[in-house]
Amino acid sequence: MTTATLPTRELPDRTYSGDDITGLISLLNTHEAHKLDLVAPASSLLASGGKLAIGGLDPVLTDDGFFQVNGLYRPTNTVYQQLANVLEIPSKYLKKMAYGDESDVALFDHNVNHWLAKSGRELLVRVLWGNDPNFPGTTGQVRAILSDRYGINDNLDTTMAVVEGLAGAGLDATNIRALDLTEDKLYIRVEADEIQVVAREFLGDYRSPFTGQSAKDLPVISAGIIFRNSEVGTGAFEIVPYIVVQVCKNGLTQTHDKFARRHVGGRLESGVVQWSDATKKASAAFIKSQVTDATKTFLTEDYVQASVDKLAKDSGEEITDVTKAIEVIGKELTYSEDDQKGILSMFIKGGVSTSGGILQAVTAHAQTIEDADRRYEFNDTAVPAMKIAARLARTSA
């Protein structure tokens, strides 16, 4: 693997998409060099010009000199939500003041500073420092505003633990099929094509909406796992099993079997946080163990077959009015009109007019969503969508 990258003055990229684990690790090493975590009273924070000012910190030594980390930090969209929660004011109002056509940064500063001064909470503020040419005058980004009981489980340590855990189960980088890093989350998608079952009855006459190939020619479903993590408070570390329909690469997530570990720890002391090696090693060892156990449990023919059998119970109900069914599903699962149109298109192309066709249509549409966070979240709704479709079919029969 790669070694730690020396810090530079430029703010590193926050996102990554691909399948090269060494490239992801290199970026995460750069992040480590630019991270700064601070525990402080809410009253010590200051809003200025729609951003957050941080002071009282020592300069950071880089490979080309000292970098002054005191300055203005641009909040992410997630931070606006977290700040609204801390201040107990509507997030929509906070964002409206901060940016957009009707923004009023002076009003934002006044409101935020007023309520910060009245707050008695201690907060963990996580920032990434560096000059951002897109936002001159800023010193970096505020990545998160969290409880001072936040438990570390950062992306670099998580990624390394996942890689080591996979190795412990006999897997390697060739099994990593997708890596997505967003401002909020990390996703590592692992597949084992060789662990498969034949599912002719479950797939029936389904055909890929992307290539038109029939599942009758490739009636195979294989094993997979998605590892998810957030180091900014938008989710726990999760291990989510899923099965892959090989004819179209639809991934059917089995969220009912997922493992999750929340980021909760002991109270952090005020000041700059230096996460100890012992804390990091303990967290990484736990993740490594869970990854190894999960791969041995979920990446098996028995688990894939059991998942197929469970899905089959709700997949065979005939859908007589697909437009109405998708409309009802859309209301219950808050799909947009565009999403509903996309699902309908995939349903028609899939050629199976059953509740199982809805399942495949949702996962196929998910593949077309560019935003990684939304894509994974949307894909998780496929099984619930099928269950709603099956319920509608049974009640109307």
Q: Give yes or no for a contact between 50 and 83, defined as CB atoms under 8 angstroms apart.
A: no
What pLDDT is attached to residue 269? Answer: 63
pLDDT average, residue stretch 320-330: 97
β-strand partners of 42: none
What pLDDT is attached to residue 59? Answer: 83
327-344 confidence digits (pLDDT tens): 999 999 999 999 999 999
Q: Give yes or no for a contact between 346 and 365, defined as CB atoms under 8 angstroms apart.
A: yes
More confident residue, 59 or 162: 162
CA angle at 9 for the pair 231 and 77, rounded to the nearest 5°: 40
224-281 confidence digits (pLDDT tens): 999 999 999 888 889 999 999 999 999 999 999 998 766 555 566 666 666 667 777 8
Residues of the chain above pLDDT 90, percent: 73
pLDDT average, residue stretch 312-339: 97
d(CA 215, CA 219): 5
146-197 confidence digits (pLDDT tens): 988 777 788 999 999 999 989 988 899 999 999 999 999 999 999 999 999 9
What pLDDT is attached to residue 218? Answer: 97
103-142 confidence digits (pLDDT tens): 899 999 999 999 999 988 899 999 999 999 999 999 999 9
Q: Is the dihedral of CA 286, 292, 293, 298 positive or negative?
A: positive
